[in-house]
Each structure stands twice: as C-alpha cells, then as structure tokens.
C-alpha cells in the first residue's frame, strides 16, 4: 500500500510545490519528496531516507536496518485516518509546511518529518524513542538528496573549512571535482553547499547539533556522487552490515554535473535516558543566492 499527494503551498501564491509519497518495499524510504521547487526554481528531483541502520555496543543486539514504510506507519491524533500528515504552522515570523509520518518498528517509535519554511529553509528530521534492546546504541539515518537546482546539470558541491583559502567561491569554500566521501570536522566549522553554476542559486547543508559523526560502523557523513538512475536503489540501499555507498565513489567528474548528495546523521541513544525520551537528528538546508 501507499499514500501520496501533491503540495502547492501556500494556496494561491505558492512558495513550495512538490509531490510526496510513502510506500512499501521496495520503495520503503520514508516519505519521498519529488519534483520540489521553491519560488518556481527546482531544488530536488527527489529527497528521501532510504536507509536507517542501528548498531548496539558489543553487538549485544543487531545490527539492524530498519525500514520506514507504509506498513509500519500509523495514523496520529493530528491526522486521523491518514498515514502522512501535512499541516502548516508559524514560528519565528515564518510559515512552515510539515509533512510527517509516525512509525513503529518493534519497540521503536519513529517520526519522519520534512519541514518546508516560507524563507526556503528545509529541515529533514528523524525523531526516535523507545528501547528495543537495553544496550547503548547508535541510529544512523541516511538521507539521499538528489539535487537538481535549476534543473539537473551544472551543479557543484562546495565544502567550507575555516582554514580554506579563496578559490573563487568565497573564502574557505572549496569545490569538489571528483566523487568523494567526507566526514564532519567541527574545529573548522565544516559545512557543505550545492550550487547551480549558472544561476548562483544553491543550498547550504548544515549538520544538526545532535548529528554526531562517522565511526567504524558508519564511516561517512556525506557522499558526493554523480547521478545514475541505477544507483537509486530506493529502500534496498545497503544492509544492516554496511551502507554500500562507497561502491559508488569511483572517481567520476562532479564539477558542474547532475549530483546526488547523501548525508548521514548519527544518533547516540543511551539506555540510561530511558525509552520515553525523544531524540532528533537531521541537517538544515538553507538557501543561498538569488532565490
């Protein structure tokens, strides 16, 4: 089964337009956002959460790959009778449109949410509570952002480091020419941005404060890949044992190409916090340039 819809928000003078869909295997990748545009300029061809891996200390349980699908989603009080809840609210002088779904997997409770703000900011989020196994563990959430800023071609990914020089994209910003896997580096305030070379429009990708960092089990924070349809494996990407993303990093040119950016948030869940505590991870996507 699946549930899907189209958004044009706010009504009358839309800032955001996109399609959404929550489906079962093999398309179990949480709520999938597609054909998203802000102020009439394309942002994503597709954005989704194809993989959610869990590792326990000492492998006391698992590891697991938890699917986010229609089958394990449930209606909430907010939206009776529906699995995907679409609603708007205001905060900090901005309006927001939220699209979310609530899932249970064993004792886990999970909310997958996309928030689209009127100022162009996008907040992908995963909220987690519940204890399946009474050992400290880490949830690794892999978001896949198939950016098509102003259309598929001519995009590039920049990385900011406070120690970087000026290479023509602002002090500290370095453009990647080849596919790569990257890890966070808080001391240099490392962040990323995907930019269309012609329009100058783009999106910063700013790691969230609770997003942790890569470890031996989940070895990356960001992957920059050239788009290939065959590399979109939907909910079948990777397994409990491995995310399978390094296999796509094979030296392809990514400078001014059609790009896919994967971002992983690493959520440390201490058993001592109990099962009712909710944890949240996810980056902020912030528009840059003349939107």
Work out how close the CB of 265 gets to Cu ion at its nearest, in angstroms, rounded to a whole number: 13
Number of residues that bind Cu ion (CB under 5 A): 1
Candidate residues 83, 144, 226, 269; the one interacting with Cu ion per rule CB under 5 A: 269
**Is residue 72 a contact partner of residue 92, using CB atoms and an 8 Å limit?**
no
Give the interface segment with Cu ion, choosing from 163-171, 248-256, 265-273, 283-291 (CB under 5 A).
265-273
Residue closer to Cu ion, measured from CB, 190 or 269: 269
- Give the 3-state DSSP-derived string for 199-225, with helices as H, strands as E and coil as C: CCCEEEEECCCCCCCCCCCCCCCEEEE
Residue closer to Cu ion, measured from CB, 141 or 158: 141
Give the interface segment with Cu ion, choosing from 111-119, 146-154, 209-217, 266-274 (CB under 5 A).
266-274
Burial class (CB in 10 A: 0-12, 13-18, 19+), 12: exposed
Residue closer to Cu ion, measured from CB, 53 or 269: 269
Give the interface segment with Cu ion, choosing from 119-127, 219-227, 245-253, 269-277 (CB under 5 A).
269-277
Provide the 8-state DSSP code for 186: G
Burial class (CB in 10 A: 0-12, 13-18, 19+), 202: buried
Work out how close the CB of 207 gets to Cu ion at its nearest, in angstroms, rounded to a whole number: 20
**Is residue 257 a contact partner of residue 227, using CB atoms and an 8 Å limit?**
yes
Q: Which helix (H) or strand (E) holds 146?
A: strand 137-147
Query: Binding residues for Cu ion, per CB under 5 A?
Result: 269
């Amino acid at each position: 089964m699946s549930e899907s819809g189209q958004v044009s928000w706010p009504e009358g003078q839309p800032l955001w337009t996109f399609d959404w869909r929550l489906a079962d295997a093999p398309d179990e990748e949480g709520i999938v956002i597609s054909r998203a545009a802000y102020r009439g300029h394309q942002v994503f061809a597709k954005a989704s959460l194809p993989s959610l891996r869990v590792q326990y200390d000492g492998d006391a349980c698992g590891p697991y790959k938890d699917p986010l699908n229609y089958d394990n989603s449930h209606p909430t009080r907010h939206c009776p009778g529906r699995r995907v809840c679409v609603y708007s609210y205001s905060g900090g002088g901005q309006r927001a449109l939220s699209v979310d779904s609530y899932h249970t997997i064993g004792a886990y409770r999970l909310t997958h949410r996309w928030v689209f703000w009127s100022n162009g900011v996008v907040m992908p989020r995963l909220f987690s509570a519940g204890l399946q196994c009474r050992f400290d563990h880490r949830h690794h959430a892999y978001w896949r952002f198939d950016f098509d800023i102003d259309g598929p071609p001519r995009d590039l990914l920049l990385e900011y480091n406070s120690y970087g020089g000026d290479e023509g994209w602002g002090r500290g910003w370095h453009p990647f020419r080849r596919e790569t896997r990257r890890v966070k580096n808080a001391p240099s305030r490392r962040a990323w941005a995907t930019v269309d070379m012609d329009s100058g429009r783009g999106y910063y990708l700013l790691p969230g404060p609770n997003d942790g960092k890569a470890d031996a089990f989940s070895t990356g924070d960001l992957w920059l890949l050239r788009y290939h349809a065959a590399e979109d494996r939907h909910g079948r990407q990777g397994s409990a044992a491995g995310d399978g993303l390094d296999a796509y990093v094979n030296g392809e040119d990514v400078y001014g190409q059609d790009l896919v950016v994967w971002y992983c948030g690493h959520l440390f869940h201490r058993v001592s916090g109990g099962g009712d505590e909710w944890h949240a991870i996810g980056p902020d996507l912030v528009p840059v340039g003349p939107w």
